[in-house]
Chains A and B, each alone.
Chain A
């Protein structure tokens, strides 16, 4: 481990990929992740590796698809609008069963939105990255160090499972600066996988495709993807818990929302409230079992996100009504602060939700009082 240096998140994630052995990066400028692209343009040619700024995210994902078919370690990065453009390519990559690492630095939306931070791509990334049945692994860091660790892990998981691994960070993580310990350089691979299309003489010819015209053949592929996903679910769930041992109330949040919630939870503990935090790190596979086992212990749960309640649906499905769940969210690029989450924790402990309370009901009343009167 090297000494720690102060780094911007986008640049730290790029460096992490470089040290993990990324061989080719194809991307396109989009705020708030362009620094990642720029850093790659500087560093990859220095190291004799491949960098290309594509003409669009559509081109970038297809360049990445081509390189992935050769067995190279490939990466791309983007934000929400660019991820939407990549959906077609991601589906093809998954259908061809080749590995890829994608970083999505999320901004306000939908549509053009803005360049402020959000978690608005959760549903798209975790449940709808493209057409058809496929299962990307999704990792959500809440600090720059964690982003570095997860980008490194992403390359391992992508190769291990011949899968797409998406690291989703909200714009704060891309833009802010924190002390980071970068990992050592890993050597680049010297051989290619046995499935790789490399134009290598002296062996039978290989083909890679996502086309299976006979439905019987396609179903076999679909089943293979399902079975592979079940292995991932069995082996790769990751989450962190804080102050849960005696917790009566549990806050659930990922990424920056989870980190803000942690500050609020710590304040609440200082005030004598028995609150804890559950922070999913793999959004896919979602830590369903851990949450389901935790639920009976809690009088209520509070889900905090920077969207309209996308992970909320996965929490509700995990919890299966064993404990009531309330939601609090900021959207459109607004970042929640610890004091407002603490206020929601107070409300949760003082006025716990009834079992049939709509999780969003109090949140929307709150927003009507506090946020909407300020609208232009």
Chain B
């Protein structure tokens, strides 16, 4: 015979975390994809800084092509690689707004290489969130400018051959060499410790913009379990063990005024 037992009275739950209101879930990203983490941190930073209502985000072509649906922010959609030019066009006519682009490695470092280098060289007061997962995600796993030597992709089926297909490009270092750049750093999203550091970097990047210091870019080593052919956990390990070797984490350019900030 069963008897129904009522649950004991519960203490009210203490809310220790609420997702940011400007991050609109659910998203379409794959299990184990770090886009969700990056999106969430951008939203948190903008809300913490009180900037969300004044922000315009520019979505790329890539898995994040629908990013403008996941941010409760004013947003536009750029052509592939052209987001920094679009951001420039917007920021020049609306200089008191916060303008950011969110771009993948194909979008920014391949077809968009001209636009990103020149926006950085001009010192555009924009913030770029660079998702580096060493592969083209949306189009099904082709080689990217950041694909590692020997890495198998659908267009490097025998592994990236540096003699035929060249070397990966280190964007954080490359942009750091430009005078117009106030902040150019590389962090990783492969574990909570690194995620917390990445969030501080995102904060400093937006500080660089609102303090009118120059161009800011945060490169985030990210996963693509689907196209790497790994489980989410394996993908995080792969970032930690392999990507950080080719793309060392570091603060390649930090404006002196940003160094004084505690975030």
Q: Mark B89-122, 1 if CB is under 8 A from A, else 0.
A: 1101110011100000000000000110010000
Q: Does B82 contact A (CB under 8 A)?
A: yes
Bound-state Cα–Cα, A199 to B73, Å: 8
Tell me how far the C-beta of A121 lies from the nearest C-beta in chain B, rounded to whole angstroms. Answer: 22
Given A50-B93, A67-B93: A62 in contact with B54 (beta carbons within 8 A): no
Closest partner residue, chain A, to B122 (CB atom): A52
CB < 8 Å neighbour of B53 from A64, A74, A202, A208: A202
Q: Is the CB of A59 within 8 A of B115?
A: yes
Q: Is the CB of A66 within 8 A of B85?
A: yes
Interface residues in B66-103 (C-beta closer than 8 Å to A): 66, 68-69, 72-79, 82, 85-90, 92-94, 97-99
Interface residues in B148-182 (C-beta closer than 8 Å to A): none
Q: Is the CB of A63 within 8 A of B54?
A: no
Q: Is the CB of B94 within 8 A of A62?
A: no
Given A62-B115, A72-B93, A199-B55: A205 in contact with B74 (beta carbons within 8 A): yes
Q: Does B65 contact A (CB under 8 A)?
A: yes
Task: Note all chain B residues with C-beta closer than 8 A to A206.
Answer: 74-75
CB < 8 Å neighbour of A58 from B66, B82, B93, B99: B82
Q: Is the CB of B114 within 8 A of A55?
A: yes
Given A89-B79, A202-B53: A66 in contact with B89 (beta carbons within 8 A): yes
Q: Is the CB of B74 within 8 A of A198?
A: yes
Interface band, chain B = 20 to 34
Bound-state Cα–Cα, A69 to B97, Å: 14
Interface majority SS (helix, strand, loop, mixed), chain A: mixed
Bound-state Cα–Cα, A211 to B58, Å: 13
Task: Note all chain A residues with C-beta closer than 8 A to B72.
Answer: 205
Q: Mark A197-212, 1 if CB is under 8 A from B, else 0.
A: 1111110011111110
Bound-state Cα–Cα, A50 to B58, Å: 20
Task: Note all chain A residues with C-beta closer than 8 A to B85.
Answer: 54, 58-60, 62-63, 65-66
Given A50-B92, A210-B77: A63 in contact with B68 (beta carbons within 8 A): no
Q: Mark B44-64, 1 if CB is under 8 A from A, else 0.
A: 000000000111101100000
Bound-state Cα–Cα, A326 to B182, Å: 63
Q: Does A92 contact B (CB under 8 A)?
A: yes
Q: Is the CB of A208 within 8 A of B94?
A: no
Q: Is the CB of A63 within 8 A of B94?
A: no
Task: Note all chain A residues with C-beta closer than 8 A to B90.
Answer: 66-67, 69-70, 197
Q: Is the CB of A211 within 8 A of B77?
A: yes
Q: Is the CB of A205 within 8 A of B76?
A: no
Q: Is the CB of B94 within 8 A of A70?
A: yes
Point out which of A60, A70, A205, A208 has the most chain B C-beta atoms below 10 A from its C-beta. Answer: A205
Tell me how far the C-beta of A155 lies from the nearest C-beta in chain B, rounded to whole angstroms. Answer: 16
Task: Note all chain A residues with C-beta closer than 8 A to B74.
Answer: 197-200, 205-207
Interface band, chain A = 35 or more
Q: Does A24 contact B (CB under 8 A)?
A: yes
Closest partner residue, chain B, to A213 (CB atom): B66
Q: Mark A94-136, 1 if CB is under 8 A from B, else 0.
A: 0010000000000000000000000000000000000000000
Closest partner residue, chain B, to A55 (CB atom): B118
Q: Is the CB of B93 within 8 A of A199?
A: no
Q: Is the CB of B88 within 8 A of A63?
A: yes
Q: Is the CB of B56 within 8 A of A199?
A: yes
Point out which of A88, A209, A210 has the most chain B C-beta atoms below 10 A from its C-beta. Answer: A209
Task: Note all chain A residues with C-beta closer than 8 A to B69.
Answer: 207
Given A70-B94, A210-B77: A89 in contact with B118 (beta carbons within 8 A): no
Q: Does A15 contact B (CB under 8 A)?
A: no
Interface residues in B125-162 (C-beta closer than 8 Å to A): none
Bound-state Cα–Cα, A336 to B78, Å: 43
Closest partner residue, chain B, to A209 (CB atom): B77
Bound-state Cα–Cα, A63 to B114, Å: 13
Given A24-B93, A58-B114, A198-B97: A66 in contact with B88 (beta carbons within 8 A): yes
Q: Is the CB of A66 within 8 A of B118?
A: no
Bound-state Cα–Cα, A26 to B58, Å: 19
Interface residues in B199-255 (C-beta closer than 8 Å to A): none
Tell me how far the C-beta of A43 lies from the nearest C-beta in chain B, rounded to whole angstroms. Answer: 16
Q: Is the CB of A199 within 8 A of B92?
A: no
Q: Does A23 contact B (CB under 8 A)?
A: yes
Tell me how far the C-beta of B73 lies from the nearest C-beta in chain A, rounded to whole angstroms. Answer: 6
Point out which of A24, A58, A202 has the most chain B C-beta atoms below 10 A from its C-beta. Answer: A58
Q: Does A159 contact B (CB under 8 A)?
A: no
Task: Note all chain B residues with C-beta closer than 8 A to A69.
Answer: 76, 86, 90
Q: Does A41 contact B (CB under 8 A)?
A: no
Bound-state Cα–Cα, A74 to B99, Å: 19
Tell me how far the C-beta of A197 lies from the nearest C-beta in chain B, rounded to whole angstroms. Answer: 5
CB-CB nearest 7 A-B residue pairs: A66-B89, A63-B89, A201-B53, A62-B85, A66-B86, A209-B77, A199-B97
- Pairs across A and B, CB under 8 Å, 26 listed: A24-B89, A24-B93, A55-B114, A55-B118, A62-B89, A62-B115, A63-B85, A63-B86, A65-B89, A66-B86, A66-B87, A67-B93, A70-B94, A74-B89, A197-B56, A197-B75, A197-B90, A200-B54, A200-B74, A202-B53, A205-B72, A206-B75, A207-B68, A207-B75, A207-B77, A208-B76
Given contact pairs A24-B93, A88-B79, A96-B76, a sample of 8 additional A-B residue pairs in the complex whose CB atoms are under 8 Å apart:
A59-B115, A66-B78, A67-B89, A69-B86, A199-B94, A200-B54, A205-B75, A207-B68
